[in-house]
Structure 1
Amino acid sequence: MLTAAAVGLAGNAGRARAQAQVPAQVPEEKKPAAVKSAIKVTLPQDDAELLIEDKPTKATGKSREFITPQLDVGGKYEYKFSAKWRPNNYTVITRNKTLTFKAGDEIVVDLTKDDSNDKAVIRYVPTPDDIVKKMIELAKVGKDDVVFEPGCGDARITVAAVKAGAKKGVGIDLDPERVAESKETVKKAGVEGKVEIRLGDALDIKDFSDATVVFLYMGNEFDMLIRPILWKQLKVGTRIVSHRFVMGDWKPEKTLQIKGDDGDDYEIHLWTITKEVKDKAEKK
């Protein structure tokens, strides 16, 4: 009978001989089981463009279904969904949503609900100069006013407001061509010292606190996106004047119907920030 020490030595010698003749057997690692997840996406419009993880999809319709590639059972995954659509011929809205899920879970994505992070790109259409004048009159622009114009286009409203007496004007546009055009308008009007033109998304403005008047001509969808920002950031007494477009259930306190010099009919609307509006914003 061999002692434990002898067995150990014999075993080592045997392994050494075996290695010289036969490759060592290494057990394969057990691969995790794989499973797929079903995805159901609901979109605002039949023709909305949908991207998943920044990759375009080809399906159409308001409700679309997909299957993921094979995923590791029990693994956690994160997918980004992006929808882009045109509610009208001058507006493009982009909405993003990111979901975390476990492999095998059913993924339900609702992209029909408004989101505070939505982005809107508006096709530029200038307001006629005679309507600009009426907007400034409706806002009662005076020497103590600071005027903001989100989506300023060529800055004609901002410049006209400053020339009408406002002490400062700020125009914001995300199109570099419009910004260049705005700066040229400011230069030609000789109001460089009173007007600031910014390149950027008007929905990303962090501070409207200096504004006493805000001019808008950006579409109903954009107005609803910027409304909560204005409610929270503007001071009580600040006036908002919009060419044509409104703000949902926040009814304007005054609306003017105007026959333009070009013979077309126009509407302009006035709102004023009140304490009640500020209180409502705080509750949201």
Structure 2
Amino acid sequence: MNTLADFQNTILTAAAIFVILSAALWFIVPLTSGLPWVPARAKRIRRALQLAELRPGETLYDLGAGDGRVLVAAAREFGARAVGIEISPIHCLTAILRAHLAGVGRQVSVRPGSFFHADLSGADVIYAYLTSRQAERLRPFLESQLRPGARVVTISAEIDGWQPEQIDRQELIFLYRMPPTPGSLASYLARDIPEAD
């Protein structure tokens, strides 16, 4: 009887340690890499992918994939292949599980690590929810890796030095096409082109 109680206590202790470590990894790893994970609303994700004109058979890369909601939307709603780059091991597992539960596990892959060290050359569309500082740091990396015609869609942060092709002001989404047009948000706003619908 004492052995069973000891076994149960050991299992409960191991489970508690696992939960605490998982929670720590969930929050601490992203914080130490420069940005905590902030999920985007489904409406905003869908609008970003529409603005990027993501098509069936294309490949989308989500930089900082979090729980995989963008990957699932790209695969399920747009018929795209989706690749997530995510530094947090817990988020990687969550994204993979989410894709399988949504029935798009074969169209989705998740690569652990920093997107600043990833090979992005196979991307048709890059999706990134960034801070301004991260966008500035990412710019030369994207310029060196992406092929002509690839699209970059950013949430909340413009890429300084690039003129957006389109902007959704309500959702604060910026679309760029490679090679990017030199310029800025100000030069975009000075053009006489209507805002994205």
TM-score calculated relative to the size of structure 2: 0.72
Please name the residue that 2:179 is paired with: 274
Q: Kindly tell me: are residues 275 and 178 of structure 1, through their superposed partners in 2, closer, same or farther at Cα, counting changes over 3 Å?
A: closer
Aligned to 2:39: 126
Distance 1:275 1:227 in 2: 10
CA contact (8 A) 2:153 2:176 kept: yes
Deviation at 1:162, TM superposition (A): 1.2
Gaps of 5+ in 2: 1-29, 183-197
- SS of match in other structure, 2:105: coil
Q: CA deviation at 1:276?
A: 6.7
* Identity score, percent: 25
Does residue 157 of the first structure (1) align with residue 88 of the second (2)? no
Displacement after TM superposition at 1:249 (Å): 2.1
1:92 Cα deviation from its structure 2 partner: 6.3
Q: Check 1:189–1:158 CA distance in 2 against 1; reply closer, same or farther (3 A cut).
A: same
Query: How far apart, in 2, do the equivalents of 1:240 and 1:276 lie?
Result: 12
Tell me how far 1:151 sits from its aligned partner: 0.4
The answer to whether the 8 Å contact 1:146/1:166 transfers is no
Within 2, Cα distance between the matches of 1:248 and 1:241? 14
Q: Which has the higher strand share?
A: 1
Matched, 1:236 2:148: yes
Measured in 1, the distance between the counterparts of 2:87 and 2:41 equals 21
Q: Tell me by how many angstroms 1:174 deviates.
A: 0.6
Any idea what SS the aligned residue of 1:122 has?
coil
Q: Within 2, Cα distance between the matches of 1:177 and 1:164?
A: 25
What amino acid does structure 2 have at the position aligned with 1:200?
Answer: G
Alignment of 1:179-194 (within 5 A): 179-194=92-107
**1:257 Cα deviation from its structure 2 partner:** 2.0
The code of the aligned residue for 1:154 comes to D
* Deviation for aligned residue 1:185: 1.1
1:275–1:251: structure 2 CA closer, same or farther, 3 Å change rule?
Answer: closer
1:94-113 equivalences under 5 Å are none
Q: Which residue is equivalent to 1:105?
A: none
The more displaced of 164-173 and 190-199 is 164-173
- Residues of 2 paired with 1:208 and 1:269: CA distance? 19
AA matched with 1:170: V
1:24 corresponds to:
none
> Corresponding residue for 2:89?
176
| Whole-Å separation in 2 of the counterparts to 1:204 and 1:197 | 14
Aligned counterparts of 1:274 and 1:125: Cα–Cα separation in 2: 29
- Select the structure that is richer in helix: 2
Give the counterpart letter for 2:173 in structure 1. I
What is the CA-CA distance between 1:158 and the residue it aligns to? 1.6
Larger radius of gyration: 1
Q: Quick check: 1:169–1:195 contact (8 Å CA) kept in 2?
A: yes
Deviation at 1:169, TM superposition (A): 0.7
Give the aligned CA root-mean-square deviation in angstroms. 1.9
Runs of 4+ in 1 over 3 A off after TM superposition: none
State the SS of the aligned residue for 1:154: coil
**TM-score, normalized by length of structure 1?**
0.51
Which residue identity is paired with 1:267?
Answer: L
